[in-house]
Amino acid sequence: MKNFFYFILFFLMYFFSSFSKETKEIENVIEYIKKYAVFAVEEMEKFGIPASIKLGQGILESSCGNSSLSKATNNHFGIKCGKNWMGDIYYHDDDLPKECFRKYNSVRESFQDHSRFLQQPRYYKLFLLKKNDYQSWAAELKQAGYATSLNYADLLIDQIEKYLLWKFDEENSCGIEKKINLYLTSIMQKNKKSDSFFKKKIDLVYKIFLLIKKKLNCTKTSPCFIIK
């Protein structure tokens, strides 16, 4: 019984920690979209790259703009220098030590350069796909070698679906700020429902914990022992 008590205690600590981490992640994503969704939609209009793909990649590659690389360089897409890059550079440990990354004056420049980067011949198949087919875009990005992660496409799709980023694929830059606010309302409502379900599970486990604690007669000053 005592072992089960400690198991429940550990279980509660783990889930409270997970809940806090998930909440922080959602807050970071919402803040990222507030700042940069307009850039993604503008670039979609110019180049035909789904806004969901650009936002999803930005969130993944830059950790919502919080990674050390993105903070130092405004590089939100993990784009390395390459032989034709003539702009500023920054050395950062990645797959190999001291790899050369592109450095930008602003995040907007990073979004713009990402669009130009995808104009390379090896990415031509992307532009044969429908703008709203984010799943095929994610798969082709991986196939074309954009990232080394074996599950990159799945990670990207997960971000797009978890945060409803596909909604931006049907938008245009006209009145985009109002549309972003409507999106933020929908994503917060979605996550409130998830939070409510999660909290109900935590409440149930906590009630079990209190019952076991009472049975074991646990206090701050005395060890747990079973009441006989």
Q: What is the pLDDT of residues 118-128, one digit of tens each?
A: 999 999 999 99
- By the 10 Å C-beta count (0-12 exposed, 13-18 middle, 19+ buried), 21 is classed as exposed
- Whether residue 175 has pLDDT greater than 90: no
CATH of 2-216, one of 3.40.30.10, 1.10.530.10, 3.40.640.10, 3.40.190.10: 1.10.530.10
Q: Per residue in 95-140, pLDDT tens?
A: 899 999 999 999 999 999 999 999 999 999 999 999 899 999 999 9
C-alpha span between 144 and 34 (Å, rounded): 30
Q: What are 102's strand-pairing partners?
A: 89
At residue 227 the predicted structure's pLDDT band, cuts being 50, 70 and 90, is: very low
Q: Name the residue ranges covered by the structural domains of the chain.
A: 2-216
Q: Are 170 and 182 in contact (CB under 8 A)?
A: no
Closest alpha carbon to 33 in 194, 191, 198: 191
In b/e form, how buried is each residue of 87-100, taking b as 16+ CB within 10 angstroms? eeebebeeeeeeee
Residue 58, number of CB atoms within 10 A of its CB: 27
